[in-house]
């Protein structure tokens, strides 16, 4: 299926301040200001009555967001945290904004870790990583300057911060150690320290770059680099992953059966490990964090995955992007390996298809949102949506 994509939004970012839920519609100050940009064609926005949508209601309309749309993260149960001029909590079932608040600035990169009654937003800025903890109405409850909290141990990626299901604990992967932060007590505990020679039966972890809770919240999964326990650091490093109890007990550490992995994508107890572009082989390794079972999702071509790999919130689906004269997005079912959809998106401006897009996959609605030009200041962000349901 081929569609023509239109630009959606204009630029702006505000400084962090107090957050609030949307005001009533009869208030003189609108909670969701009108965007000055032209709306997308009707074919590019899926509504609740779209006959192609078979698994659940879905809508994504850029009109409520003023300013340039710079990215989205999964929030909770079909909602998204959308960053434009402000932060918006957006319900994709009803197509409405549930809450909004000023956005932290600057936001070079960000990611959200949702929990039952809120969201932890980790922002990579000029001063390093900062975690902003919001309630379900985007009211700011706590701000944590992570490098200060970890006594100078740097946090390299938003995926290095995870929240327990109740939000009372944060797992934080610094470069050299894994930490557990008890929010009610304000207490930080070091679960493992790579400087102490943390290792398993055949490998030793030397640096970390990802953290996630297992579904029961009793253990923390982590990802990083390591060396053979026999040779120490006298050879090239290789990716390792493991789990450890929240009390620091029962460490399990093993090699990841893939080379060139630089990040860990987490989704409801599943950990996905996209390879660096130099190691793309047309597959995606992933593990079940609770059982430790290793799997590999095969794509349709050996060079697929180099232009972006994206995982749905619940880990049921994976998408790949392929750049060229058009953008091609393919969606796969993780459990069966089935290719569910191939969508090509055509644009008049080559800048939109010259840079890796952002793709958001909604499990229950079986719908995808594609954002192009998020990180290019001189052009408006373009938005397209499609269904990959049966």
Nearest alpha carbon to residue 150 among 160, 140, 165, 164: 160
Count of residues for the chain?
390
pLDDT at 256: 85
Sort residue 51 into left (φ over 0), alpha (ψ -120 to 50) or beta: alpha
pLDDT at 204: 79
Beta strands of 246-282 (E only): which ranges? 252-255, 265-267, 270-272
Angle among Cα 280, 283, 287 to the nearest 5 degrees reads 115
How far is 116 from 91, CA to CA, in rounded Å?
Answer: 16
pLDDT at 7: 38
Nearest alpha carbon to residue 209 among 242, 250, 251, 169: 242
Whole-prediction pTM: 0.84
Using CA atoms in the order 87, 89, 95, 98, what is the torsion angle rounded to 10 degrees? -110
Q: In the numeric block, which tokens belong to residue 254?
A: 């093993």
| Omega prior to 57 cis, within 30 of 0 | no
What 3-state DSSP class applies to 85? coil
Beta bridge partners of 266: 271
pLDDT at 232: 53
Q: In the numeric block, which tokens belong to residue 141?
A: 């409850």
Number of domains the chain contains:
1
Could you tell me the residue range of the domain that residue 382 belongs to? 2-387
One-character DSSP codes across 179-237? EEEETTTTEEEEEEEGGG--B-SSEEEEEEEEEEE-TTSSEEEEEEEEEETTTTTSS--
In what helix (H) or strand (E) does residue 360 lie, and over which residues does it extend? strand 358-362
* Residue 150, CA distances (Å) to 144, 177, 180, 382 in order: 10, 9, 10, 38
The answer to whether 316 and 362 are in contact (CB under 8 A) is no
CATH number of the domain enclosing 314: 2.130.10.10
Per-residue model confidence as pLDDT tens for the chain (390 residues): 444 444 333 322 222 233 333 333 333 333 333 333 333 332 343 333 343 334 568 999 888 998 999 999 999 888 999 999 999 999 999 999 999 999 998 787 899 999 999 999 999 988 899 999 999 999 999 999 999 999 999 999 999 999 999 999 999 999 999 999 999 999 999 999 988 877 665 677 889 999 999 999 999 999 998 887 665 555 677 899 999 999 999 999 888 878 889 899 999 999 999 998 889 999 999 999 999 999 999 999 999 999 999 999 999 999 999 999 999 999 999 999 999 999 999 999 999 998 999 999 999 999 999 999 998 989 999 999 999 986
How far is 280 from 262, CA to CA, in rounded Å?
Answer: 12
How far is 171 from 191, CA to CA, in rounded Å?
Answer: 9
How far is 159 from 264, CA to CA, in rounded Å?
Answer: 7
How far is 159 from 145, CA to CA, in rounded Å?
Answer: 16
In what helix (H) or strand (E) does residue 296 lie, and over which residues does it extend? strand 294-298
């Amino acid at each position: 299926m081929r569609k023509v994509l239109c630009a959606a939004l204009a630029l702006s970012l505000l400084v962090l301040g107090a957050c609030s839920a949307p005001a009533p519609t009869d208030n003189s100050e609108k909670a969701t200001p009108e965007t000055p940009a032209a709306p997308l064609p009707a074919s590019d926005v899926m509504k609740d009555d779209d006959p192609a949508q078979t698994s659940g209601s879905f809508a994504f309309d850029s009109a409520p967001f003023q300013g340039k749309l710079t990215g989205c993260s999964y929030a909770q149960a079909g909602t998204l945290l959308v960053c434009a001029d402000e932060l918006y909590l957006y319900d994709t079932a009803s197509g409405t904004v549930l809450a909004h608040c000023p956005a932290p600035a600057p936001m070079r990169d960000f990611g959200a870790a949702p929990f039952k009654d809120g969201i932890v937003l980790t922002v990579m800025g000029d001063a390093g990583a900062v975690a902003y903890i919001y309630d379900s109405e985007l009211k700011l409850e706590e701000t944590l300057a992570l490098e200060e909290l970890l006594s100078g141990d740097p946090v390299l990626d938003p995926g290095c911060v995870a929240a327990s299901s109740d939000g009372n604990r944060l797992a934080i992967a610094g470069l050299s150690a894994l930490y557990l932060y008890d929010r009610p007590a304000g207490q930080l505990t070091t679960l493992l320290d790579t400087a102490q020679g943390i290792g398993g039966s055949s490998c030793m972890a030397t640096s970390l770059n990802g953290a996630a809770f297992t579904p029961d919240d009793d253990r923390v999964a982590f990802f990083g680099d390591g060396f053979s326990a026999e040779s120490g650091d006298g050879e090239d490093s290789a990716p390792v992953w493991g789990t450890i109890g929240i009390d620091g007990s029962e460490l399990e550490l093993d090699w990841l059966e893939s080379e060139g992995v630089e990040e860990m994508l987490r989704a409801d107890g599943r950990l996905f490990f996209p390879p660096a572009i130099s190691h793309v082989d047309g597959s995606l390794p992933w593990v079940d964090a609770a059982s430790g079972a290793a799997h590999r999702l095969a794509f349709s071509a050996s060079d697929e995955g180099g232009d972006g790999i994206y995982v749905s919130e619940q880990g049921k689906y994976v998408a790949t992007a392929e750049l060229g004269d058009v953008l091609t997005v393919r969606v796969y079912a993780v459990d069966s390996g089935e290719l569910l959809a191939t969508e090509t998106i055509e644009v008049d401006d080559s800048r939109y298809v010259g840079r890796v897009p952002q793709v958001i996959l909604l499990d229950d609605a079986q719908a995808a949102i594609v954002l192009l030009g998020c990180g290019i200041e001189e052009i408006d962000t373009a938005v397209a949506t499609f269904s990959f349901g049966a």
